[in-house]
Amino acid sequence: MNRGAVAEVNLTAIAHNFKILRDIVGKRPVIAVVKADAYGHGAIEVSKRLIQEGVSCLAVAFTDEAIQLRNAGINAPIIVLFDTKDLEDFFNFNLIPVIHDVSIALAISRKATEKRKKINVHVKVDTGMGRIGLSGNKIIDNLICISEMEGLEITGIMSHFSEADLLDRSFAYSQLKEFNRIREELFKKLKKRIFSHIANSAAVLTFGESHLDAVRPGLMLYGYSSLSKDSELNLIPAMKVKTVILCIRNLPSGFPISYGRTFITKRQSIIGVIPVGYADGYNRLFSNNAEVLVKGVRVPVVGRVCMDLTMIDLTDIKDVKEGEEVVLLGQQGNETITAYELANKAGTIPYEILTSFGRYSKKEYVN
Ligand X SMILES: Cc1ncc(COP(=O)(O)O)c(C=O)c1O
Distance of alpha carbon 191 from the chain centroid: 36
State the nearest-atom distance from the C-beta of 216 to ligand X, in Å. Answer: 4
Which residue's CB comes closest to ligand X? 218
Q: How far apart are CA 329 and CA 172, in angstroms?
A: 32
* In 254-294, beta strands by DSSP E: 256-257, 263-264, 269-274, 291-294
**Residue 118: partners with Cβ closer than 8 Å, 6 or more residues away:** 112, 151, 152, 153
CB–CB of 350/226 below 8 Å? yes
The count of other CB atoms within 10 Å of the CB of residue 6 is 18
Q: How far apart are the first and last CA of the chain?
A: 23
Q: Which stretch binds ligand X (CB under 6 A): 102-110, 138-146, 198-206, 300-308?
A: 198-206
Q: Please, what is the minimum distance in Å from the beta carbon of residue 353 to ligand X?
A: 13
- Does 217 contact ligand X by CB under 6 A? yes
For residue 219, state whether it binds ligand X (rule: CB under 6 A).
yes
Stretch that binds ligand X, among 20-28, 216-224, 306-314, 332-340 (CB under 6 A): 216-224
> Of residues 109, 135, 196, 201, which one binds ligand X by CB under 6 A?
201
Query: Is 237 one of the binding residues for ligand X (CB under 6 A)?
Result: no
* Candidate residues 16, 41, 216, 304; the one interacting with ligand X per rule CB under 6 A: 216
Q: What are phi and psi of 191, to 5 degrees?
A: 60, 25
In the complex, what is the shortest distance from the CB of residue 160 to ligand X, in angstroms, rounded to a whole number? 4
Contact status: 40 vs ligand X (CB under 6 A): no
Alpha-carbon distance of 181 to 127, in angstroms, equals: 10
According to the binding rule CB under 6 A, does residue 133 interact with ligand X? Answer: no
| 19, 189, 259, 362: the active-site residue | 259
Angstrom CA distances, 60 to 38, 63, 66, 78, 298, stand at 8, 8, 6, 7, 36
Of 268-307, binders to ligand X (CB under 6 A) are none
The secondary structure of 80-97 as a DSSP string is ESS--S-HHHHHHTT-EE
- How far is 211 from 329, CA to CA, in rounded Å? 32
Nearer to ligand X, 61 or 106 (CB): 61
Where helices occur in the chain by DSSP H, the ranges are 11-25, 35-39, 43-53, 63-71, 87-92, 102-115, 139-147, 170-190, 201-206, 339-346, 350-360
* Selection from 31, 336, 250 nearest residue 158 by Cα: 31
Our CB check for ligand X shows the closer of 100 and 183 to be 100
Measured from the CB atom, the residue of 126 and 291 that comes closer to ligand X is 126
Stretch of residues binding ligand X (CB under 6 A), selected from 139-147, 194-202, 229-237, 330-338 = 194-202
Residue (of 357, 72, 332, 139) closest to 241 by Cα position: 357
Give the residue with the Cβ less far from ligand X, 223 or 277.
Answer: 223
Choice from 200, 210, 265, 310 touching ligand X (CB under 6 A): 200
Q: Does 218 interact with ligand X (rule: CB under 6 A)?
A: yes
Q: Which of residues 59-88 bind ligand X (CB under 6 A)?
A: 81
By C-alpha distance, which of 274, 367, 364, 259 is closest to 328? 274
Task: Give the nearer residue to ligand X in terms of CB position, either 33 or 309.
Answer: 33
Q: Could you say whether residue 33 binds ligand X (CB under 6 A)?
A: yes
Q: Which stretch binds ligand X (CB under 6 A): 62-70, 111-119, 196-204, 279-287?
A: 196-204
Cβ atoms 109, 101 nearer than 8 A: no
* Interface residue with ligand X, options 16, 28, 100, 160 (CB under 6 A): 160
259 is catalytic: yes
Q: Which of 97, 96, 51 has the alpha carbon at shortest distance from 73?
A: 51
| Complex with ligand X: residue 123 or 202, whichever CB lies closer | 202
Q: How far is the CB of 355 from ligand X (least distance, A)?
A: 10
Catalytic residues: 35, 259
- In the complex, which residues of this chain contact ligand X (CB under 6 A)? 33, 81, 160, 200-202, 216-219, 226
